[in-house]
A and B are shown apart, each in its own frame.
Chain A
Amino acid sequence: MTTDNQPEKKPANQPPIYRLILACGNTLRGDDGIGWQIAAALEQDVSNADAHIVVTRQLLPEHAELISRAEVVVFIDCSAHAEAGQVQSIPIVPAEQLPRILTHHLDPASLLRLALDLYEKVPSHAIAITVGGDFFELSEELSAPVKAAIPDAVLAVQQALR
């Protein structure tokens, strides 16, 4: 797993990535940190050993290149719109309309669009696994229902990767 805190292993010829997991969120904002914890749980499972797991505070244009090399990509994030603890699997396709403005946060569909425009390739399958949250105050702790949803979220990711 590579994070914003660790060096990224980058083979010189940038080989393809079969399974890419991109987990994002702010670990200082309560439930928004769920993506990092799900990614950590996935890394513990040896069946995910060939998955390239990246955790980041936000999706960036710089992730487009990684995505273009993947066959399958699973985005993991918290959702402020779903019920706390609710796990959802949402298929993602490249956005047709480009965002009007570059923000600090790119959504998965826009990132796929960018990968298509820059590198002419996107994964054959792209899915977002989200966990509903309702506590986003300054905290490194998850709320109880969100924490309880981790096993289900992990399962959803593993199903998406098959």
Chain B
Amino acid sequence: MSQTITIDPVTRLEGHGKITLKTNDQGEVSEAYFTVTQVRGFEKFSEGRPYYEMPSLMARICGICPVSHLIASAKACEAIMSVEIPPTAAKLRRALNLAQTIQSHALSFFYLSSPDLLLGMDADPVDRNIFGVAQKNPELGRAGVALRRFGQHIIELLGRKRIHPGWVVPGGVTEPLTAVKRDEILALIPEAYANIKLALKWYKEIADRFTEEAEHFANFPGAFLGMVSEDHSLEFTDGKLRLIDATGNILEDKLDAAHFDNVIGEAVEPFSYMKFPYYKPLGYPDGAYRVGPLARLNIASHAGTPLADIELTEFKKLANGPVLGSFYFHHARLIDILYGIEKIEQIFSDHTILDTHVRATAGVNRLEGAGIAEAPRGTLMHHYKVDDKGQIIWPNLVIATGQNNNAMNRGVLQTAQRYVKGEKLEDGMLNRVEAVIRTFDPCLSCSTHAYGQMPLAISLVAPDGTVLDSIRRG
């Protein structure tokens, strides 16, 4: 008898999402949809605004990754201005972007995903959260809290605010770095190294317990998109994009923001407000690809920093070619953090970081501009068209999480087909379906959870309306 199972809302995500599972007459999951139920409207209400307001406006899209939007937007504005920002400003922005990546990944790994990894996918939901982690493994909990604080504190020192910082503007940054702040940041580095090393060691010790999930969590062939530097190492801020296929062959290389939409299209589906980007030469949905930590590590030939290089070499041995299982996003996130710490140390040890030339100025010199940056969750693109006065007439944003939309939907179906069985719903089944979404660490908005208990009711309903089973959380 065919049925519909709905998980609404999905827990431990940034934002609100709903999962719908439909079963066939044999009780097997035949369809699955990850539905994003929010409409934000940023692209529409930006029309008519002066282009130089856009970084500040766009940062308000998100409370976890506002820096990524600041930087991608500022770069789009700089394309309109036809300016190249001063080298010190570029380094400072790179550091800010990496600090954000570190704190965002710390939130994702330690607060949102480690409860599953430490306590088990079948653990009682009452315990399966950061507070459960704090009780079961305080050392791991402390490491997570400290890494998040490390990234946030750097953002606060540079941008004056932890959430929605300013400082990044079209042309560069508003003020140079002081020696006091630089020294304060460098003093935080040793503890950060200790914490990420602890996390990596712990993860590798427990990873073998999840070979089943690693095999079935959004594990399928597909392309990967990400930014690399000129020497093909990791790059988050000022590189060019590369797209590879499931065997590692390069499909597109040295792709810059100005030509992004020549090769990337956006499809829409009736069940979600989130768009579905795809690689145009392969069409939709065959041209779907993944972005984010897993994509970055698959695409880069090496990290470019000593300790992360060692970790990346080890990571690449997980597969012969690109690592395809999305469960390994967790591992990749930790390597991103390690790289970020090393790169931040390099940047702030550079004697030119205190240079006072940090901003270029100009007016409108082009009527169109695009900028890309690697957000924690993957490649982010801002593209604007302006009139002669510099007022926005057309903005388009291609968000990292949106680029993983197709993969998340495929992942939900694959996982549900593996774990959701029969007419009896079990919490562990549904948690695995949620957990596959969490591997992507989607950022659906900055409004994650309502205060208090999150009501979550899942009902298994027969076509004639009979409730066969139900689960309620909260």
Contact = CB atoms under 8 A, between A and B. Distances in A.
Interface of A: 4-8, 10, 12, 57, 61-62, 64-65, 98-105, 110, 113-114, 117-120
Ranked nearest first, the 6 interchain pairs of A and B with the lowest CB-CB distance are A98-B131, A117-B134, A62-B149, A103-B449, A5-B160, A101-B454
Interface string B156-186: 1100111100000000000000001100100
A131 B417 CA distance: 52
A88 B135 CA distance: 32
Nearest to B127: A98
B187 interface: yes
Contacts of B127: 98
B149 A113 contact: no
A5 B453 contact: no
B354 to A, nearest CB: 16
Interface stretch (B139-147, B248-256, B373-381, B462-470): B139-147
B145 A102 contact: no
Nearest to A115: B134
A107 B473 CA distance: 21
A114 B134 contact: yes
Interface string B235-252: 000000000000000000
B163 A102 contact: no
A4 to B, nearest CB: 5
A113 B138 CA distance: 12
B166 to A, nearest CB: 10
B145 A118 contact: yes
B153 interface: yes
Interface string B445-466: 0011111111000000000000
B283 to A, nearest CB: 40
B455 to A, nearest CB: 11
B129 A98 contact: yes
A99 B148 contact: no
5 contacts: A65-B142, A65-B146, A98-B126, A118-B138, A118-B145
B156 A4 contact: yes
B131 A7 contact: no
Contact of A117 (B11, B135, B157, B453): B135
A118 B181 contact: no
Residue of B138, B152, B163 with most chain A CB atoms under a 10 A cut-off: B138
Contacts of B135: 98, 117
A7 B450 contact: no
Given A57-B163, A62-B152, A102-B111, A110 B131 contact: yes
B448 A104 contact: yes
A4 B163 contact: yes
Given A7-B156, A57-B163, A105-B451, A65 B129 contact: no
A101 B265 CA distance: 37
Given A4-B156, A5-B160, A118-B141, A104 B131 contact: no
B153 A114 contact: no
A100 B141 contact: no
A102 B12 contact: yes
Contacts of A8: 153, 156
Interface string B104-138: 00000001100000000000011101111011001
Contacts of A105: 451
Contact of B450 (A65, A103, A117): A103
B452 to A, nearest CB: 8
Given A98-B131, A102-B130, A103-B451, A7 B145 contact: no
A57 B127 CA distance: 27
A65 B145 contact: yes
A136 B125 CA distance: 33
Interface string B339-364: 00000000000000000000000000
A103 B145 contact: no
A100 B473 CA distance: 9
A100 B448 contact: no
Contacts of A6: 156, 160
B125 A100 contact: yes
A118 B129 contact: no
Contacts of B160: 5-6
